[in-house]
Chains A and B, each alone.
Chain A
Amino acid sequence: MFHLLSFVQWLNDTRISVYLRESDWPFPIIETIHILGLGFSVGTVMWVDLRLLGLAMREAPVTDVIEQLEPWAIGGFAVMFVSGSLLILSEPLKCYNTVAFRIKVVLLILAALNVLYFHKKVMHNVDEWDQNMPWRAKLVGVLSLVLWLGVVIAGRWTAYF
């Protein structure tokens, strides 16, 4: 059977992990890139969410906001995902043992499911949303804001524990 802890321990002892952990510069540089990626992805996702809730950019059509900001959100997420994987690789055991990090992983999975639900089940009649925003779209907006906020908080707190 696959045993997560022994995998994490093996990962922790690989040369690349030891290198990332023990040298001075890789961690701060990767972490900085991770936060810039955060700016792009969360910074754009949250405006889509606020538009869904009718709180910002109300005069702009919903489809305009979603279509034009989504590529930036996805690009930012890709940067975060790659840099985040390297950050995990630099201290696998610490991440495994940190409660804040475990919460972060759960929140990320929930955020992904939220996006999937939005695209598969909610977005089909997006052209009509400027007249009448369905409650499901608003729910997705609220969930996305709360989940990403949670990801940021749990991510920051991973460093404190």
Chain B
Amino acid sequence: MTFGRILPSWFFWQCENTLPGSWFKHAQWFFAIDETFHIMALGMLIGTLLIVDLRLLGFGMRRQSVPELAKYLGPWTLLGVASMIITGVPLFMSEAVKLSRSTPFFYKMIFLTCAVTLHFTLHRKATASSARQGSGMGKLAACLSLICWLGVALAGRAIAFL
């Protein structure tokens, strides 16, 4: 499945060939530099998610409670997601037509939608101060969160290869 089969092709063409997309596409080094920031944001985001999700599963920073860790790292997670999106949109616009035919890109967006939705629903509940420690719901939220974000990263990497 690809986005090209859902949305009209002029949408992708316009993204890539009108401002600011056309600038992203043609500016020398823009893609390489923006992609570097995208990966730096990824490092930060993955760190915060790992620490909280591992703790929900009973690993890693066990001397701190789940709500404590979620309170420390929650703002950083949001900053990480925001940076990923801010650096990611120009990456998309610079090669929208190619991505409209990319299967990995389609799955990346599906995983991303699931991951963000999960983060603000089940995951938020499982890390709230009222949540019971070590509950099955917490472990489920952690597993789903790790799977979704791993899916985003792996599908993202696959865009360049497939």
> Which A residues are closer than 8 A to B by beta carbons?
28, 31-32, 35-36, 38-40, 42-44, 46-47, 56-60, 64-65, 68-69, 72, 149, 152-153, 156-157, 160
Contacts and interface: CB of A to CB of B under 8 A. Distances in A.
Interface in B38-54: 39-40, 42-44, 46-48, 50-51, 54
B73 interface: yes
Given A32-B157, A35-B153, A157 B72 contact: no
A144 B35 CA distance: 22
Nearest to B38: A156
Contact of B44 (A46, A68, A69): A46
A25 B42 CA distance: 24
B51 A69 contact: yes
Closest 7 CB pairs of A and B: A43-B47, A39-B46, A68-B61, A28-B161, A57-B72, A43-B46, A42-B43
A47 B64 contact: no
Main secondary structure of the interface of B (DSSP, over half): helix
Instruction: Classify chain B's interface size.
Output: 20 to 34
Contacts of A160: 32
A70 B38 CA distance: 25
A149 B75 CA distance: 21
Nearest to A153: B36
17 contacts: A32-B154, A32-B157, A36-B153, A39-B43, A39-B46, A39-B50, A42-B43, A42-B47, A43-B43, A43-B47, A47-B73, A56-B73, A59-B68, A60-B64, A64-B64, A72-B60, A153-B40
A60 B43 CA distance: 22
A69 B73 CA distance: 14
A47 B68 contact: no
Contact of A38 (B43, B61, B69, B158): B43
Contacts of B42: 39
